[in-house]
Amino acid sequence: MPNRSEARGIVLIGAQWGDEGKGKVVDLLAGRCDAVVRFQGGHNAGHTLIHEGRTVVLHLLPSGILSPGVECLIGNGVALYLPQLFEELRSAPASHRQRLFVSPGCPLILPSHIALDQAREKHAGRRRIGTTGRGIGPAYEDRAARRAVRAGELFAPEAFRERLRLAMDLHNFMLKQYYGAETEDPERVADEWLGMAEELRPMMDDIAARLRRLRNEGKSVLFEGAQGVMLDIDHGTYPYVTSSSTVAAGALAGSGARLEHVAEVIGVVKAYTTRVGEGPFPTELKDAAGERLAREGAERGATTGRPRRCGWFDAVAVRHAAQRASINSLCITKLDVLDGLDSLRICVGYRLDGRGIDTLPSSMSRYGDCQPRYEECEGWRESTRGATRWEDLPPPARAYIKRLEELTELKACIISTGPARGQTIIRRHPFAR
């Protein structure tokens, strides 16, 4: 009989504004699990892995793909841009395809979604969101409007063509009449997409059923979040958010996994904060200290190459994320980036309308008016780069981590001290039996 008590499902999500280092941690944990599942977002994600000394950036493929024998699943919640999927597959060994399974329920991103995303951003001017321009918002809008074309529909060509035409007629109307932008030809897109169907066919699978089987067989599954809780469509800094559910519950809705499959939710945070795109960011540093974090942390977007905005760790935002997303432990990354600072700051509360608050304001529209209240911490001169043992960290670095744990009311099971797999302190392995 399968031993269900051993079948651990762990959800790993970003607990800030994305780019927390999820890719590195998933790649590390993949060595001890049987399957990795993407469940939301699309190729707006950029997850960086270091493999045999080489940097690999994945946008759609789950970060378990470099670990032999690990099944990689793309659940129904992922907005799928097929040209990107095949591009990533082409730059990987052919055998990787045999471990990749894609849900027929994935809404497809079409060229007209990308055109709409970009036209809107241009039209919005200084009110823009600062999206990645990958068509994510428009594709999820079509899903909610029940007009999306889904991956499984590619195998009934005539019906596919008709539904694609219906959706694209509307896209083209908006592109031309509202934004004065170039339109896309539905017949050309239909031909091109139908031309990819056969390549996709062997990967199509019922992801929920596969997850059920994995669980019954006592296998370990890692659910890989994209973006971060502060970019969640409901719980993030609306409207400066992405268009999917980045909270742990998104892992269930976006894959069909059972609620009781999830044993733990790990929130990944940087030891400081970054954000790409527009929107409020209370601890942002627009001075030399921010430039230093950007430089030492090599903070440039893995998807768009845009510089990331940098600031101090915001314990209020992480507490908010932890509450909204059911996070019950932390993984803290990029500790090494803070090496060499005389002192550091942690945001422990905000000031709004002259009053101190220690949560986000009840209306997100006021978030941009919140000023950070800081606590000062002692810095350290020694290098933590590559440290693998807690005892080897300089005492002020340990005190800093402990303070983050106190303020967030969460224990850090993993501390990352460099971009490579081995540059990690594992205090408790999430998949340890």
The residue ranges that bind ligand IMO (CB under 6 A) are 14, 17-19, 44-47, 129-132, 134, 136-137, 226-228, 231, 242-243, 276-277, 302
> Which one from 19, 27, 34, 142 is the annotated catalytic residue?
19
> Which one from 27, 34, 43, 47 is the annotated catalytic residue?
47
Q: Does 19 interact with Mg ion (rule: CB under 5 A)?
A: yes
State which of positions 264-323 bind ligand GDP (CB under 6 A): 298, 302
Based on CB atoms, which residue is closest to ligand IMO, 237 or 384?
237
Based on CB atoms, which residue is closest to ligand IMO, 105 or 277?
277
Q: Structure tokens of 120?
A: 């809107």
Based on CB atoms, which residue is closest to ligand GDP, 59 or 215?
59
Q: Does 48 interact with ligand GDP (rule: CB under 6 A)?
A: yes
The site string for ligand GDP over 79-118 (x = CB under 6 A, - otherwise) reads: ----------------------------------------
Based on CB atoms, which residue is closest to ligand IMO, 33 or 79?
79
Q: Is 47 in the active site?
A: yes
Applying CB under 6 A, the site for ligand GDP has a residue count of 21
Select from ligand GDP, Mg ion, ligand IMO, none the partner in contact with residue 227, using the beta carbon and a kind-dependent cut-off of 5 to 8 Å. Answer: ligand IMO
HEC-encoded secondary structure of the chain: CCCHHHCCEEEEEECCCCCCCHHHHHHHHHCCCCEEEECCCCCCCCEEEEECCEEEEECCCCCCCCCCCCEEEECCCCCECHHHHHHHHHCCCHHHHHHEEECCCCEECCHHHHHHHHHHHHHHHHHCCCCCCCCHHHHHHHHHCCCCCEHHHHHCHHHHHHHHHHHHHHHHHHHHHHCCCCCCCHHHHHHHHHCCHHHHHHHECCHHHHHHHHHHCCCCEEEEEEEEHHHCCCCCCCCCCCCCCCCCHHHHHCCCCCHHHEEEEEEEEECCEEECCCCCCCCECCCHHHHHHHHHCCCECCCCCCECEEECEEHHHHHHHHHHHCCCEEEEECHHHHCCCCEEEEEEEEEECCEEECCCCCCHHHHHHCEEEEEEEECCCCCCCCCCCHHHCCHHHHHHHHHHHHHHCCCEEEEECCCCCCCEEECCCCCCC
Based on CB atoms, which residue is closest to ligand IMO, 33 or 276?
276
Based on CB atoms, which residue is closest to ligand GDP, 20 or 142?
20
Instruction: Look at phi and psi of residue 110 and say left if phi exceeds 0, alpha if psi is from -120 to 50, else beta.
Output: beta
Span interacting with ligand GDP, options 191-199, 240-248, 333-341, 359-367, rule CB under 6 A: 333-341
Span interacting with ligand GDP, options 45-53, 107-115, 250-258, 346-354, rule CB under 6 A: 45-53
Q: Is 59 in the active site?
A: no
Select from ligand IMO, ligand GDP, Mg ion, none the partner in contact with residue 44, using the beta carbon and a kind-dependent cut-off of 5 to 8 Å. Answer: ligand IMO
CB of 252 vs ligand IMO, minimal distance in Å: 19
Q: Does 336 interact with ligand GDP (rule: CB under 6 A)?
A: yes
Instruction: Return residues touching Mg ion (CB under 5 A).
Output: 19, 46, 302
Instruction: Return residues touching ligand GDP (CB under 6 A).
Output: 14, 18-24, 46-48, 298, 302, 333-334, 336-337, 416-419
Residues designated catalytic:
19, 47
